[in-house]
Amino acid sequence: MKEFLFNQLKVVRSNTINEVKELSESQVDTIPEGFNNNIRWNLGHVYLVQERFAFGFTQEPMQMPDEFTDLFGKDSKPSDWKVQPPTLPELIKMLEDQTSRIKEKLNNRLDEAVVNPLSMPSGLTLKTIGEFLTFSMYHEGMHVQTIRMLKRFGT
C-alpha cells in the first residue's frame, strides 16, 4: 500500500505539471472574468499546502520561501501581491522536487500520528501522515480542475 500511495502522489503531480508545462508566463498570469486567481496562484497554492501537509504537520523542515504564505495562502490573490512570484519554470521545478522529498522523508512513517491533527470544515480530521498525504491528492485534484477551467476561459 505504501508504494501505491507514493506512486499516486507522483502521478497526480505529473498530471498537474503536464497541464501547465507548455503555457507561457502571460498565460499562467491571466485571470478570466469571474475568477479571483490565476494558474500561477493555483500552482503555488498546491505547493504550499502539500509542503505544510507533508512537512509542517510532521515536524520536518519545510522548503518554502518566506513570501509563499502571502502569495499563495488561503484568501490570497494576485491582485494583492507586493512581491514578485516565482516564474513558471521555478514553480514546476519546486513541484517536481517536492514529491521526491516527500517519499525520501516520509517513506516509513505513513501510520505515524501527527502532533497536531487537523480538523477540516467538513468534519474530517487528519491524524496520521498517510491521511495528510492522501487528502493532499484530493486537494491537488481540485486545483487541477480549476487550472483546466482557467485554461479554457483565459488562454
Q: Tens digit of pLDDT per residue, the chain (155 long)?
A: 688 999 999 999 999 999 999 999 999 999 999 999 999 999 999 999 999 999 999 999 999 999 999 999 999 999 999 999 999 999 999 999 999 999 999 999 999 999 999 999 999 999 999 999 999 999 999 999 999 999 999 86
Residue 80: Cβ-neighbour burial (10 angstroms; 0-12, 13-18, 19+)? exposed
Predicted pLDDT at 2: 82
- b/e code 86-108 from CB counts within 10 Å (16+ = b): bebeebbebbeebbebbbeebee
Predicted pLDDT at 154: 87
Domains of the chain, residue spans: 2-154
Predicted pLDDT at 38: 98
Predicted pLDDT at 1: 67
Q: Which pTM does this prediction carry? A: 0.96
> Domain 2-154 belongs to what topology?
Four Helix Bundle (Hemerythrin (Met), subunit A) (1.20.120)
Q: Could you read off the pLDDT of 115-136 as tens digits, one per residue?
A: 999 999 999 999 999 999 999 9
Alpha carbon separation from 116 to 42, 47, 89, 120, 146 (Å, rounded): 26, 20, 34, 13, 29
d(CA 1, CA 18): 26
